[in-house]
Amino acid sequence: MKIPPGKKYLRHISYDPVIFGFAGSRLKVLITRFRNMDVYALPGGFIHQDEDLETAVQRGLKERTGLDKIYLEQFHTFGDMKRSDPGIMGQFLEVNGLDPLEYEFLFDRFVTVAYYALVNYEKVDPQPDSLSDYIGWYDLEGLPGLMLDHVLIVKEALRTLRANLDHKLVGASLLPERFTMKELQEVYESILGESLSRTNFQRKMLSLGFLERHEKKYTGKAHKAPYLYTFRN
């Protein structure tokens, strides 16, 4: 999270992005760790008084990943009263020698607007923010314990991503420019958490008409070389 000095940010409102990447046939999530603590969280942030909500989120993503114009989907706003943890925040200020008066807002209750983002893993250069000393990728199935309701937020993000898989172009944001059909299938499988029929998957994808086929990719392996594909437009 970013430190809001004074009245620069809207009180009581935050955003939390679940940033998905794809590498080694697995779906990954970008997680930050609080400075000098064993507390993990989504790389959330706050909204400037004079900035659109969506702009704030894109700004935060740019700061943490180095990327512009990231694929972003808002999926839910979490507003339960108990989404605040004064204990952890007090400990955080103490451990890091910060003035509780100056950082009073950290004890507030926050209504958070949750997004999921899809990024090209290779292009991301993860940068911790001012409250963190580490940020990094975690396997979706190997997440550390997360603060507050962030586990629930990740779960809901995944649920929404799965539901949108049919009618949104998910692969385009998670894969490099050129990719094989096998890689595309692995993206779908890692999101759905189940294996799909290879032959029918290929037919389905091709029938949708948004894939462009290019030259073959010679892997040097003892089998037929796969075609490479890009997304149209």
Q: Using the minimum distance from each CB to a second copy, give the nearer residue, 154 or 184.
A: 154
Rounded-to-integer distance, Cα 187 and Cα 162, Å:
11
Which span sits near DNA by CB under 7 A: 113-121, 136-144, 151-159, 225-233?
225-233
Q: Using the minimum distance from each CB to DNA, give the nearer residue, 129 or 183.
A: 183
DSSP 146: B
Question: Two tokens at 205?
Answer: 């994808």
Q: Using the minimum distance from each CB to DNA, give the nearer residue, 109 or 203.
A: 203
Rg of the chain over Cα atoms, rounded to whole angstroms, equals: 20
Q: Using the minimum distance from each CB to a second copy, give the nearer residue, 21 or 60.
A: 60
Position 106 contacts a second copy (CB under 8 A): no
Q: Which does 49 bind (CB under 5 to 8 A by kind): a second copy, DNA, none?
A: a second copy
Rounded-to-integer distance, Cα 18 and Cα 115, Å:
6
Query: How many chain residues interact with a second copy (CB under 8 A)?
Result: 22
DSSP 87-114: HHHHHHHHHTT--TTTTGGGGS--EEEE
Position 206 contacts DNA (CB under 7 A): yes
Could you tell me if 17 and 117 are in contact, meaning their C-beta atoms sit under 8 angstroms apart?
yes
Shortest distance, position 227 Cβ to a second copy, whole Å: 34
Shortest distance, position 185 Cβ to DNA, whole Å: 9
Q: Using the minimum distance from each CB to a second copy, give the nearer residue, 59 or 76.
A: 76
DSSP 152: H
Which span sits near a second copy by CB under 8 A: 44-52, 91-99, 142-150, 169-177?
44-52
Q: Which of 38, 142, 221, 233 binds DNA (CB under 7 A)?
A: 221
Position 223 contacts DNA (CB under 7 A): yes
Position 96 contacts a second copy (CB under 8 A): no
Backbone phi, then psi, for 185, in 5-degree steps?
-65, -40
Residues that bind DNA in the complex, under the rule CB under 7 A: 180-182, 197-200, 202-204, 206-207, 216, 218, 220-227
Residues that bind a second copy (CB under 8 A): 10-13, 47, 49-54, 56, 74, 76-81, 109, 111, 113
